[in-house]
Amino acid sequence: MNEAIVEKGLFLLSIFSILIFLLIIIFIILESFPAFQHIGISNILFGINWAPDNGFYGILPMILGSIIVTVFALLIAIPLSIGCAIYIEEFSQNHIKTLFKPIIQTLAGIPSIVYGFFGLMVLVPISRDFFGGSGFTILVASMVLAIMILPTIISLSQDAINSVPSEYVESSLALGSTHIQTIKNIILPKASLKITTAIILAMGRAIGETLAIIMVAGNVAEIPTSILSPVRTLTSNIALEMGYAIDIHYNSLFATAVVLFSIIMVLMIISNVIEHKWGC
């Protein structure tokens, strides 16, 4: 009797949270609708000019901006974090392992403005001194983003490495393979699925990051031409202009949001498919 009530209660709660989520999505889609209707889907998605004052609402520069910054961030973060995870799990002494854990948790908990501030005060000037220009570049934005997603990939990769059954490892060592060979041939292949989903999760986080990026990316709404160009991401586009946007401009920011969460939804679907289809 009591259990039935608890179960019903939990059911209602979960329905409620799903409902809220759906309402938000519906709201965003409805608000974006006028933009798609008046400007045209392809003009929004593939337009290379973003100039609301002159009636241009192309968000292709921002789509590319988000993708490029994320890709570079991953290129920096993946080798670093997987290397770090392998070191901690396979080579470090126990006391180092226990030292690393809270450090990584703390890194993950630091608010993004702190990372942005660090980027602005340290990395932007370095980039300016080294490469000239303003210093607000894709390079710096990707580096800040990379630092921010490191903890996610590290700790999830650690879990992945940890979850490789020790029997596999022992069998491999008992056959006379070295520790390194065992890592390369047994541990990493077995952990690779989970590491992949970790990377996708980090990708979602990177694409969604806003504040830190705005502080260091320069935010010029143009298709970047080099890694030293400034860049504006989808999230920045919304955050920068939401304060004063009206009418179709306002709706086009919601269109940006729709594109953003479509990308993230696709990533989450991919990660779920990986987990369930080839799940370990």
Partner 1 sequence: MKLKVKNFNVKINNKDILNNININFKKNSIHALIGPSGCGKSTFLKSINRMNDLIDKFTFDGNIFLDDKNIYDIDEVSLRKKVGMVFQKATPFPKSIFENVAYGLRIHGIKDKKFINKKVKESLKASALWDEVKDKLNSSALNLSGGQQQRLCIARTIAVNPDVILMDEPCSALDPISTFKIEDLIQKLKRKYTIVLVTHNMQQAKRVSDFTSFFLNGHVIESGKTNQIFLNPKKEKTESYISGRFG
Residues of this chain that bind partner 1 (CB under 8 A)? 94, 165, 167-168, 170-178, 181, 185-186, 189-190
Tell me whether residue 112 or residue 182 sits nearer to partner 1 (CB atom). 182
Q: CB-based contacts of 99: which residues, under 8 Å, 6+ apart?
A: none
SS3 content of the chain, % helix, strand, coil (to 5): 80, 0, 20
Tell me whether residue 138 or residue 160 sits nearer to partner 1 (CB atom). 160
CA–CA separation, 117 and 113 (whole Å):
6
Nearest distance, CB of residue 182 and partner 1, angstroms: 8
Select from 234, 259, 252 the least CA-distant residue to 37: 252
Tell me whether residue 101 or residue 184 sits nearer to partner 1 (CB atom). 184
The answer to whether 133 touches 227, Cβ cutoff 8 Å, is no
Tell me whether residue 37 or residue 181 sits nearer to partner 1 (CB atom). 181
Nearest distance, CB of residue 192 and partner 1, angstroms: 11
Nearest distance, CB of residue 99 and partner 1, angstroms: 17
Nearest distance, CB of residue 193 and partner 1, angstroms: 11
CA–chain centroid gap for 114, Å, is: 17
CA–CA separation, 161 and 223 (whole Å):
39
CA–CA separation, 91 and 96 (whole Å):
10
Nearest distance, CB of residue 83 and partner 1, angstroms: 22
Q: Residue 249 corresponds to which tokens in the numbers above?
A: 């401009």
Tell me whether residue 164 or residue 260 sits nearer to partner 1 (CB atom). 164
